Chain A
Amino acid sequence: MNCQRLKGWFEERYDIEALGALVRSKTVPSHRFDAWYFAGGLTLFLFVFQFITGMALALYYVPHAEHAHKSIIDIVTKLNMGWLFRSLHHWGAQLAILVLFIHVFSTLLLKAYRKPRELVWFTGFIMLAISIFFGLSGYFLLWDERAFAAVRVATGGAGNLPLVGWLIKGFLRGGLDVTGETLTRFYAFHVAILPLVTIAITGFHILLVQLHGISVPLSQEKRQGKPEPFFPNIFYRDLIVWLVCLGVVVTLAVVFPPEIGRKADPLAPAPENIKPEWYFLFLFQTLKLFPGEMLGMNGETIAIVIISAAILFFFLIPFFDRRSASGHRSPLFTWIGIFYLVYFTAMTIIGFLT
């Protein structure tokens, strides 16, 4: 294989020199918190991993209420290493969302959202919402008792949003109740709509990061070391982090393959101790905090309004944090960030334990 001639073929047609120079010019800041920079790339790696394992599974999965559950049982019991790919996809999803939260909270606490990077934060938030929906829709495709009940509760909860709740609920369910129509819809979201939207927004998100450069926390701006060149230094370190993560996912997949519950029955009551996926637990614990009736209004509606307000605040934080926008230290918002993190973690753990 003649690398020189191949390189020459491309160089005659494209400006490889300029491209190489551009790639080699990218640097990554060096400072006390630069380890957190790996979280973004790792999220991307895990989502690519999900795309690959997902595409493989989609070759065999049948998205019809009658056959969905059986098709997964067939994949797991009859295909070569079918159990492995399903398990990989399950654990890849868990890790992808976990690493995503790590990425979100680290950018929140390091205030990477401040001016001029507000759009990076907004596109990131949209991707967070999409990823949660990825998780919900994917989980539903199993069409077992737990998944069915979980989606009933989740879409029912969305229906309690003031003003637009009924519209969102009807749109997600494809009708008044969770049925085979919902399965078709969620399948369309999970394998077509969400992947394409994700690719578009992720592309934009990464492009913005390239344009702005990577954000340096305010406290470290004057304390940076020499910037590391992205290629080859950071590239190889990224690779190591990705390889370790891959090892973790594969090991979890082999040692803890997920169960397949009983096929969903729309007429049966919800199974005992039904719990949503772990990344929803904090929402449901919060709902439990509110009594049935408060100040003469439906307690659940109030809870949902408060939760929505908190999420909206989270979304718009670049606009609320005026101090960091002007380049000043903003300890109030550091505490707000810590509050969000602690609340999320604590509620998730409590939801897990009860």
Chain B
Amino acid sequence: MSHPVLVVLFFLIQATALFAEEPKVEVFAAAPYDRHIIYQALVFFWVGIIGLIIIITMKLREIKRIQNMGIDKEEKDAPFLD
């Protein structure tokens, strides 16, 4: 007689435990579609950063070239072409 009562009680307690468990907060997109969009955006971002670094290196090489030639200083009283 007590056996099925215990079983029912057991399930009831399990059910209440489910409510006591905090649902984990989703700190990142759950859907795979959204995840792929985020990783794609990350890739584009890195393309942007690395591209910028490459261009800056190009600029730095040019600056070194000019400085080594000694032509980097602008002459103050150079006349305008017009």
Touch between chains A and B, by CB atoms below 8 Å: yes
Across the interface, do A236 and B49 meet the contact criterion of CB distance under 8 Å? no
Instruction: Say yes or no: A262-B22 contact (C-beta < 8 A), given A87-B27, A247-B46, A257-B27.
Output: yes
Kindly list chain B residues whose C-beta atoms are within 8 Å of the C-beta of A76: 25-27
Instruction: Say yes or no: A243-B52 contact (C-beta < 8 A), given A232-B63, A254-B38.
Output: yes
Nearest B residue to A69 via CB reads B25
Kindly list chain A residues whose C-beta atoms are within 8 Å of the C-beta of B29: 83
Cβ < 8 Å to A, chain B residues 1-55 = 22, 25-29, 38-39, 42, 45-46, 49, 52-53
- CB of A267 within 8 Å of the partner chain: no
Q: For the complex, give the distance between the alpha carbons of A50 and B60 in Å.
A: 29
As a 0/1 sequence over residues 233 to 262 of chain A, the CB contacts with chain B under 8 angstroms (1 = contact) are 100110110011011001100100111101
Instruction: Say yes or no: A254-B42 contact (C-beta < 8 A), given A83-B28, A87-B27, A243-B53.
Output: yes
As a 0/1 sequence over residues 61 to 77 of chain B, the CB contacts with chain A under 8 angstroms (1 = contact) are 00100010000000000
Across the interface, do B60 and A237 meet the contact criterion of CB distance under 8 Å? yes
Across the interface, do A250 and B25 meet the contact criterion of CB distance under 8 Å? no
Across the interface, do A247 and B27 meet the contact criterion of CB distance under 8 Å? no
Across the interface, do B26 and A77 meet the contact criterion of CB distance under 8 Å? yes
Kindly list chain A residues whose C-beta atoms are within 8 Å of the C-beta of B39: 254
Chain A residues within 8 Å of chain B by Cβ, number: 24
Nearest B residue to A260 via CB reads B25
| Minimum distance in angstroms from A275 CB to a CB of chain B | 20
Residue from B27, B28, B42, B46 having most chain A Cβ neighbours under 10 A: B27
Across the interface, do B45 and A250 meet the contact criterion of CB distance under 8 Å? yes
Kindly list chain B residues whose C-beta atoms are within 8 Å of the C-beta of A130: none
Across the interface, do A246 and B27 meet the contact criterion of CB distance under 8 Å? no
Kindly list chain B residues whose C-beta atoms are within 8 Å of the C-beta of A83: 27-29
Kindly list chain B residues whose C-beta atoms are within 8 Å of the C-beta of A247: 45-46, 49
Q: For the complex, give the distance between the alpha carbons of A233 and B64 in Å.
A: 8
> Chain B residues in contact with chain A, CB under 8 A?
22, 25-29, 38-39, 42, 45-46, 49, 52-53, 56-57, 59-60, 63, 67
Pairs across A and B, CB under 8 Å, 25 listed: A76-B26, A76-B27, A83-B29, A87-B27, A232-B63, A233-B60, A233-B63, A233-B67, A236-B59, A236-B63, A237-B60, A240-B53, A240-B57, A243-B49, A243-B56, A244-B53, A247-B46, A251-B46, A254-B38, A254-B42, A258-B27, A259-B25, A259-B27, A260-B25, A260-B27
Known pairs A76-B25, A76-B26, A240-B57 / 11 extra A-B pairs, C-beta < 8 Å? A76-B27, A87-B27, A236-B59, A240-B53, A240-B56, A243-B49, A243-B52, A243-B53, A250-B45, A260-B25, A262-B22
